[in-house]
Amino acid sequence: MAIARLIAPFSSVSGKITAPGSVGSTSAVVAMPDQFGRTLLRAYTRGVQPNTIQQVQARSILSSISEGMASLSQAQLEAWQALALEITLNARLGQTFKPTWAQIFQTVNSYRVQNAQSIILNPPTTEGAAVPTRIAAISSDDGAPDQVLSITVEGPTVTAGSFYRYRFTRNLGTGQRRARSNEFRYATTTPLGIIAAATGVVTLTATTLNIFSATNIGVEILVLNSGYVPVGRALTNNIAVTETV
């Protein structure tokens, strides 16, 4: 993987880059800014579709949401448009943007379906929810084939009715490497890492990732309010997994 040093007029670059006049993507590279101010470059590749259980499940969820979107009345559509105007999201390179109503409809209902809830056609509340201060510790019982994880979450009193969605990385190999955003995965199947918000020691069973003690992983908690609208997150890019006593 190459490292690029950028000069004016560019201070940062992110995404696919293709050489001028080239045919297709044979000469393309992907630029990835990191947390140290560097720009990393790798060859552009098009992945295959292994049609895993998780992929099939995701496509099924999106199909259901698409059917719900098609059934919206004009008044409901306008209400989702108004909700989207109240929300600001973070993009790459430190930018912010306003999502479309379709993005919010899909996001909210995706989290609802993942947590075994029905699709809603009327927009939910936009009230906030308390965000954890930090993820203090994680341990594994090293069970086979699944591992019971104990995660210590610190923070203010949780907001009633809110949810935490947990995602993890595979073993990062060392205590120095920081997890990238595209490395986080669901470790549970149903529901997909979404549970009622709680601080203290939270227990989950990893059924789709091997998470053992004496490894280093990344852990992410996305906070959803009672209407399944994302309101914040707690993140650690590298934490040592200890063995559950």
Helix pair angle (101-114, 53-70), 10° resolution: 130
Mean pLDDT of 84-98: 81
The predicted structure's pLDDT at residue 56: 80
CATH number of 134-243: 2.60.40
The predicted structure's pLDDT at residue 168: 97
Name the H helices within 27-134.
Answer: 53-70, 74-85, 101-114
What's the whole-model pTM score? 0.77
CB 196 within 8 A of CB 148: no
Q: Where are the domains of the chain?
A: 2-43, 53-114, 134-243
Sign of the C-alpha dihedral, residues 211, 213, 218, 222? positive
Give the span between the Cα atoms of 139 and 12, in whole angstroms: 38
Check pLDDT > 70 for residue 190.
Answer: no
CB 149 within 8 A of CB 140: yes
Among 209, 233, 207, 216, CA closest to 138: 216
Q: How far is CA 188 from the centre of its chain?
A: 14
Which tens digit of pLDDT belongs to each residue from 198-221?
999 999 999 989 999 999 999 999
Query: Confidence band (pLDDT; 50, 70, 90) for 245?
Result: confident
Amino acid at 127: E
105: tokens are: 């409809």
DSSP letter assigned to residue 185? B
* Strand 134-140 with 230-243, pairing: parallel
